Amino acid sequence: MDSMITRKLADKLLQLATYYPIVAVTGPRQAGKTTLCRATFPDKPYVSLESLDFREFAESDPRGFLMEYRQGAVLDEIQQAPGLVSYLQAEVDEHPEPGRFILTGSQHFGISQIISQSLAGRCGLLTLLPPDFEELLGFSGVPDDLFTLLWQGAYPRIYDQNIPAHQWLADYIATYVQRDVRQVLNVGDLLTFSSFLKLCAGRIAQEVNLSSLGGDAGVSHNTAKSWLSILEASYIIHRIPAWHVNIRKQIVKAPKLHFLDTGLVCNLLQIREPGQLRLHPLRGAIFESWVVSELYKSLANQGEQPVLHHYRESRGLEMDVLVQRGDCLHAVEVKSAATAAPDFFKGFEQIAGRIQTASLSLRLDNVVVYGGETSQKRSTARLLGWRDVGTILQQAL
């Protein structure tokens, strides 16, 4: 079994297992779901439905299969035996003790639908992503340099098994495209889909324009739309919508495209080593995407559905990320430069003005995350060095 770093989601997983008879953990492949569930519930039998004999048993004789595990079990990769879910429903309706079955599933688009239809009210649902920066520090050999960290990304196998990042990521992309996507798309589209994925990487931290993206990939607007949904449902990308509070008429309403792992982006963009990233034209966009994914992980680790926004007016003002929690609005600007400059702080006053004009009763917490080392409390905002990315949402105003 993999060496276990402490995962923040473990607390939430234990908590939900005291309420619900079933708890399901979804997330991308290789994010550490199996390791987490087995370590959190070491006394439960473990069954991988990737294994053909178990899968065949579960599919052909679901009642007999569940009889074997009356006391409960960790059922890994439940999307391999979707038919089992409705039998699980009957089983837990009969014996609804909390925490009986722990499920994991990778292909979010299939499994979330099945779970929400069959297990509504009986199942707690959590998302595990690759480790956030704080969790990653539990491994030895985590880079001390920002660009090396962004280039390697956060998938645990890279750190755990000391596999060279470029090798592991290339294999991951090949496996993901060939295996998971093949189950959803026509096989003939795989080559086009691969180039579509690379085009998405080239548009990181930009607003999504489906027509131009589809045009460049040689597919229709609708195909581009459905492929983005597949990438989003399998936790490769994340689209953050424009902040929808109607402050002004000329706000741009398109969502922004982010990847949940910067290592994958660097691999897709054929950035061969960290030094190349340091000088790359997309360096700032990749750093911005990293900060967005750290925020996303921080909310998912608390069992929340991450709700992030961006804001841009067609003339001038923009804010990279907005996170509203209660009556506090965290306004986050991201700058990859290592030295703080006055223009880092210029948007905050305008955002405050917009909020006042719209009579929104929100308290603003202004944050700049930059590529430098030191964090400071400035008069207009908190300036956070990249290592302190985990503290963005910790500010109690």
**pLDDT tens per residue across span 52-70:** 999 999 999 999 999 999 9
Helix (H, G, I), strand (E, B) or coil at 128: coil
Q: 146 is written with which tokens?
A: 């920002």
Contact 202, 282 (CB under 8 A): yes
Put simply, whether the predicted model's pTM sits higher than 0.75 gets the answer: yes
Quick one: what percent of the chain has pLDDT higher than 70? Answer: 95
Tokens describing residue 270: 């054929």
- Kindly tell me if the per-residue pLDDT of 11 is higher than 50: yes
Closest CA to 26 of 99, 156, 114, 132: 114
Residue 336 CB partners (closer than 8 Å, separation 6+): 283, 284, 287, 288, 370, 371
Nearby residues of 222 by Cβ (< 8 Å), 6 or more positions away: none
Dihedral angle sign, alpha carbons of residues 290, 296, 298, 301: negative
Amino acid identity of residue 347, one-letter, is G
Tell whether the model's pLDDT for residue 188 goes beyond 80. Answer: no
Question: What pLDDT, on a 0 to 100 scale, did the predictor assign at position 356?
Answer: 83
**Which CATH fold would you assign to the domain 309-394?**
Alpha-Beta Plaits (3.30.70)
* Burial zone of 332 (CB within 10 Å; 0-12 exposed, 13-18 middle, 19+ buried): buried
Say how many residues make up the chain: 397
Q: What is the dihedral of CA 111, 299, 173, 369, to 10 degrees?
A: 170
Give residue 317's pLDDT. 87
Tell me which residue of 352, 361, 357 sits closest to 247, measured CA to CA. 357
- Alpha-carbon distance 45 to 40, whole Å? 12
Q: Determine the Cα–Cα distance for residues 38 and 128; give it in Å rounded to an integer.
A: 14
Average pLDDT in the chain: 91
Three-state secondary structure call for residue 210 = helix
Return residue ranges of the chain for CATH 3.30.70: 309-394
Measured CA to CA, the distance from residue 388 to residue 365 in angstroms comes to 16
pLDDT at 253: 85
Q: Using CA atoms, how far apart are residues 251 and 273, in angstroms rounded to an integer? A: 38
- Partners of 259 in the β-ladder: 237
Q: Where in the chain is CATH 3.40.50.300?
A: 9-127
Give the pLDDT score at 1. Answer: 37
What token pair was written down for 77? 């990769």
| Residue listed under structure tokens 């309403």 | 253
Counting residues of the chain whose pLDDT is more than 90, the rounded percentage is 76
DSSP state of 397: -
Given the candidates 1.10.10.10, 3.20.20.140, 2.30.40.10, 3.40.50.1100, the CATH classification of the domain at 133-283 is 1.10.10.10
122 phi/psi in degrees, rounded to 5: -110, -5
Instruction: Give mean pLDDT, residues 207-231.
Output: 93
Do 306 and 296 form a contact (C-beta atoms < 8 A)?
yes
CATH 1.10.10.10 positions along the chain are: 133-283
Q: Which two tokens stand for residue 370?
A: 């930059």
The enclosing H or E element of 256 equals strand 256-259
Higher pLDDT, 179 or 305: 305
Q: Under CATH, domain 9-127 is a member of which superfamily?
A: P-loop containing nucleotide triphosphate hydrolases (3.40.50.300)
pLDDT for 191 beyond 50? yes
Give the C-alpha separation, 206 to 210, whole Å: 12
CB-CB neighbours of 96 under 10 Å? 12
Q: What phi and psi, each to the nearest 5 degrees, are found at residue 320?
A: -65, -50
Q: Tell me the pLDDT band of 249, cut-offs 50, 70 and 90.
A: low
Structure-block tokens of residue 189 = 């589209």
